[in-house]
Structure 1
Amino acid sequence: MSKAWLEWLKAFAIAAILAIIVRVILFAPVVVEGPSMLPSLHDGDHLIVSKLNYSIGEPDRYDVVVFHATQRKDYIKRVIGLPGEHVEMKDDQLIIDGEKVDEPYLDDRKAAMNENQIMTQDFTIEELPGGYKEVPEDHVLVLGDNRNNSTDSRMLGVVPVDTIVGEAIMTYWPLDRIRFTE
């Protein structure tokens, strides 16, 4: 083999190793399946998920996260409740530790609804699977943005932080929807 071929082979091997490191440790591509995050994310949107964010930090309220819902299925939802918080929904208003909390990512959807339509049925964390009084340590409560069509903490219970794959940071496909995730 010539020296040029060895250099090319070495460059290719380095590029492959770097690609594997980036894919396995730093980022993951994810495709949204279903309508549970409408209008924020659409069925078929391709996302870049940062695996690094929660290696060095904790989820924040409103982060859009991908987590292992089952051994074979990952879900994408929005973090609503953090450890130690009492979460409830009353009259379509999110209430955390007795204080009303705005959900600005739902404003457009709420504006398009009829006056007597409800986006999110009333619930308290005690009524969810597990019956907790507050979100346990190392867990989060998650909801889909399309509240009437989402399998989330209301059915699954709170989500262990160690099942979170990462935070959705950007939509990269389709091209007309390229943007950072809100």
Structure 2
Amino acid sequence: MDPTLADRERLMITTLSTIKRQDIVIAKEYDSTSDKPKKIVKRVIGLPGDTITYHNDVLTVNGKVVKEPYLADYQAQFKKDKLQSTYQYDAFFQRLARQSTAFTTSATGEANFTVKVPEGQYYLMGDDRIVSQDSRRVGAFPKKDIIGEAKVRFWPLNRIGGV
């Protein structure tokens, strides 16, 4: 979830809130190699029944443009140098960014794509779109796999506050 959240940060979550678009949630993700799910942190992009469209990094939900201000820093860096300085620690990430035609692409690399979110499911994406493993690759998440909404970061102390 870079740049919004960093590895090893600690979050307080609530299981009582209604899930809304752009909330940050913790969900269970299952993979084919284990019966045990891993917990992931992603942003809600689509609610049940939504039609999600991306056209050159502009998000449209049900025909209305939705701003994503939390992506501004990485989108600016993508335009500047395709995130090469940001990803200098990882050659694989640098290669993915160099090959990307937009900051947000489909699982097959298309800058323009549309997804219909199935009823009872949520479309989740990470904020670091180029390298995020999310609904674009693993599909939508059923409500039963949403653990809760992240509300407050309490560690590290110098970053304490709402998310």
Structure 1 or 2: more helix by fraction: 1
Q: Which has the larger radius of gyration?
A: 1
Shift of 1:116: 7.9
Matched, 1:177 2:159: yes
Matched AA of 2:148: G
TM norm structure 1: 0.68
Q: In structure 2, what is the equivalent of residue 120 of structure 1? A: 104
Runs of 4+ in 1 over 2 A off after TM superposition: 111-118
CA distance in 1 between counterparts of 2:6 and 2:61 reads 28
Q: In structure 1, what is the equivalent of residue 8 of structure 2? A: 44
For this pair of structures, how many residues does the alignment match? Answer: 133
Q: Which ranges of structure 2 fall in alignment gaps of 5 or more residues?
A: 31-35, 83-101, 106-110
Structure possessing the higher relative contact order (Cα contacts under 8 Å, 6 or more residues apart): 2
Q: Which ranges of structure 1 fall in alignment gaps of 5 or more residues?
A: 1-36, 126-133
Q: Structure 1 vs Structure 2: percent identity of aligned residues?
A: 39
Q: In structure 2, what is the equivalent of residue 137 of structure 1? A: 119
Matched AA of 1:99: K
CA distance in 2 between counterparts of 1:116 and 1:109 reads 10
**C-alpha RMSD of matched pairs (Å):** 1.5
2:74 partner SS: helix
Listed one character per residue, the Cα deviations across residues 123-150 of structure 1 (whole Å, up to 9, x for unaligned) are 321xxxxxxxx21221110100000111
Which of the numbers 70, 94, 99 marks the counterpart of 2:59?
A: 94
Structure 1 or 2: more strand by fraction: 2
TM norm structure 2: 0.76
Matched, 1:152 2:157: no
